[in-house]
Structure 1
């Protein structure tokens, strides 16, 4: 089995739900297994520390996850058109992996959730691509051959999967959003297997 890292940060739960759908798409490909990981919150208090193991949900990501997985799906909520600080903080600490070329040639995709239709989904997806490009990864999006991309009234972009959670963050993931997440996860897994031959 080949592991594919599904790395996400989720504040209200929507990005976690997207990550689970991406994982379903990954695991629909024989020979692939999704490895769900998250990042700890960033505190404004300098002395604050997070437990080394989260109270619930996916474990925190480690450098070994980057090395051991043959592809990465990265997800974050939108923060003013950019990825959330905890995800940015994690990538800011990967200079050692960058200098070793740990991720060079591996495929990657991105996904996000925001409170409104025009809340910065696409710019957030683009912002998440930047560290991946610097690491030498091969970026994948959602092609328009995925029918849901052309008919969705909720989330979904060619840059990656997305969700519109509503101002209060309680809108459920739509069927089209689920389809696009699964399609993106499947595409990532199939590409990773081809590149890993």
Structure 2
């Protein structure tokens, strides 16, 4: 059984919802899903002024060394100007020791994100995550076109060949749609299936 970490940061709950859907997909494929979030690094006054939600219901990851315990890692972060949040970047900036040891080489990785607008930098944010995974020597899985939900144009929705996505609207009022959540489930399933095939 593949053991998959779903590691995320979420300011307003959208990315947390996507993390839950990714985990569902992992479990659907017969894998074990563990959900963790990275620590909040913004000053408390910023958190309060911006109305950030607490990442309740999931445990904060203990540190970078925990990454080596998993067969696959799916990373989720909202976008900040077309790249991952500083909270997620701060976590990955601490993984130099894992890189030196080659601790993540051959493990499976993937990404998901949330943006305020349809063209708010989803793909560049996904790439900002995937760059880290590739430097770690991980085997990257995208949201392939086997998930055809990303192909429709009848409604606004997320989805990219680089990973699962959702759109929150500028005021955060839009919640992940069923298409968005289905894409996240599909991604989780594909990561678990790939990790199971590569697992020795």
Return the TM-score normalized by structure 1.
0.91
In the TM superposition, residue 13 of structure 1 has moved relative to its aligned partner by 0.3
Q: Partner of 1:168 in structure 2?
A: 171
Distance in structure 1 (CA, Å) of the matches to 2:73 and 2:55: 24
Question: Which residue in 2 is equivalent to 1:11?
Answer: 11
| Alpha-carbon distance in 1 for matches of 2:176, 2:56 | 21
| Distance across 1 between alignment mates of 2:11 and 2:89 | 14
Bigger Cα displacement from structure 2, 120-129 vs 1-10: 1-10
Runs of 4 or more above 4 Å deviation: none
Q: Which of these residues, 178, 188, 192, is aligned with residue 189 of structure 1?
A: 192
In structure 2, the CA distance between the partners of 1:172 and 1:55, relative to structure 1 (3 Å rule), is: closer
Question: Take 1:189 and 1:55, find their aligned partners in 2: how far apart are those partners?
Answer: 24
Aligned-pair CA distance for 1:131: 1.1
The count of corresponding residues between Structure 1 and Structure 2 is: 188
* Aligned mates of 2:14, 2:36 — CA distance in 1: 15
Query: Which whole-Å CA distance do the structure 1 matches of 2:152 and 2:123 have between them?
Result: 17
| TM-score w.r.t. length of structure 2 | 0.89
1:5 and 1:65 in contact (8 A); partners too: no
Q: After superposition, give the CA deviation of every residue in 1:70-128 in whole Å (9 maximum; x if it has no partner).
A: 00000000000000001000000001111111100111100000110011011000111
Distance across 1 between alignment mates of 2:55 and 2:75? 21
What displacement does 1:63 show?
3.1
Aligned to 1:156: 159
Q: Give the Å deviation of 1:43.
A: 3.5
**Contact 2:6 2:35 survives alignment (8 Å):** yes
Alpha-carbon distance between aligned partners in 2 of 1:85 and 1:193, rounded to the nearest angstrom: 32
Task: State the superposition RMSD in angstroms.
Answer: 1.6
**Where does residue 60 of structure 2 map in the other structure?**
60
- Return 5+ residue gaps in structure 1 as ranges: 46-53
The separation in 1 between residues aligned to 2:75 and 2:177, in whole angstroms, is 20
* Alignment partner, residue 133 of structure 2: 132
Counterpart secondary structure, 1:36: strand
**SS of alignment partner, residue 163 of structure 1:** strand
| Partner secondary structure for residue 82 of structure 1 | coil
Return the alpha-carbon distance in structure 2 between the equivalents of residues 79 and 129 of structure 1.
16
Aligned equivalents of 1:178, 1:43: Cα separation in 2: 28
**141-150 vs 160-169, greater mean Cα deviation:** 141-150
Is this contact kept in 1: 2:2–2:72, CA < 8 A? no
5 Å-filtered alignment, 1:85-104, equals 85-104=86-105
